[in-house]
């Protein structure tokens, strides 16, 4: 068994990836990817963790497939009493076409989100269920994309205290050119 083997034939989840909170926060944040990838590359431990997380995240982000769509929606068939329609392959075709490309965990969470809504009285239509699953898939897919970028990047060497002081002096000198006051260049008038 490998480190992503799960019980019950269920695909691996984010929990199975065992990512540190710090890494997950950077991989899935709303901040621009360039900033987060750079932040990860600056910390050797995070860089190493991100590199080894790529295959794990890829397994979590993999499309769930048609069989998983039906397996995840089957309990809703019972709850919402779909009846004979659920026996027809045509009934499941549109659900499989719309949802099979999403990660298992995202679809599973979307089904739970839908069933937990106060107004959920009917079997979900494919579009709204896909929207719920897509919103759950975005952090997973974003994390995989960023982890791949980190894996392709070399870890950044941290600045020494002398380099930091030199860079601060350079920035201060540059900023002094833009200060307003005696001896500063006069502002242009339009």
pLDDT higher than threshold 80 for residue 32: yes
Q: Distance (Å, rounded) from C-alpha 80 to C-alpha 90? A: 18
pLDDT of residue 45: 93
**pLDDT for position 7:** 47
Indicate the average pLDDT of the chain. Answer: 86
- The pairs formed by 7-16 with CB atoms below 8 angstroms and a separation of 24 or more are 10/104, 11/59, 11/60, 11/62, 11/64, 11/68, 11/104, 11/105, 12/56, 12/59, 12/60, 13/60, 13/104, 13/105, 14/60, 14/105, 14/140, 16/56, 16/60
Measured CA to CA in angstroms, residue 110 lies from 3, 98, 100, 171 at distances of 26, 13, 13, 49
Per residue in 130-167, pLDDT (tens digit) is 999 999 999 999 999 999 999 999 888 777 888 888 88
Q: What is the pTM of this model?
A: 0.74
């Amino acid at each position: 068994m490998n480190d992503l083997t799960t019980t019950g034939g269920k695909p691996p989840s984010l929990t199975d990836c065992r990512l540190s909170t710090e890494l997950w926060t950077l991989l899935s944040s709303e901040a621009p990817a360039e900033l987060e990838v750079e932040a990860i590359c600056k910390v050797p431990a995070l860089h190493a963790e991100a590199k080894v997380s790529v295959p794990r995240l890829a397994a979590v982000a993999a499309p769930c497939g048609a069989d998983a769509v039906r397996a995840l929606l089957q309990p809703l068939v019972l709850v919402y009493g779909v009846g004979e329609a659920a026996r027809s392959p045509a009934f499941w075709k549109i659900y499989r076409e719309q949802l099979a490309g999403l990660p298992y965990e995202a679809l599973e969470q979307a089904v739970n989100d839908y069933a937990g809504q106060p107004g959920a009285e009917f079997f979900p239509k494919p579009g709204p269920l896909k929207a719920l699953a897509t919103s759950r898939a975005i952090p997973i897919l974003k994390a995989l994309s960023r982890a791949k970028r980190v894996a392709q990047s070399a870890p950044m060497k941290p600045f020494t205290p002398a380099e930091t002081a030199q860079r601060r002096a350079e920035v201060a000198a540059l900023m002094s050119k833009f200060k307003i006051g005696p001896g500063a260049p006069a502002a242009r008038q339009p």
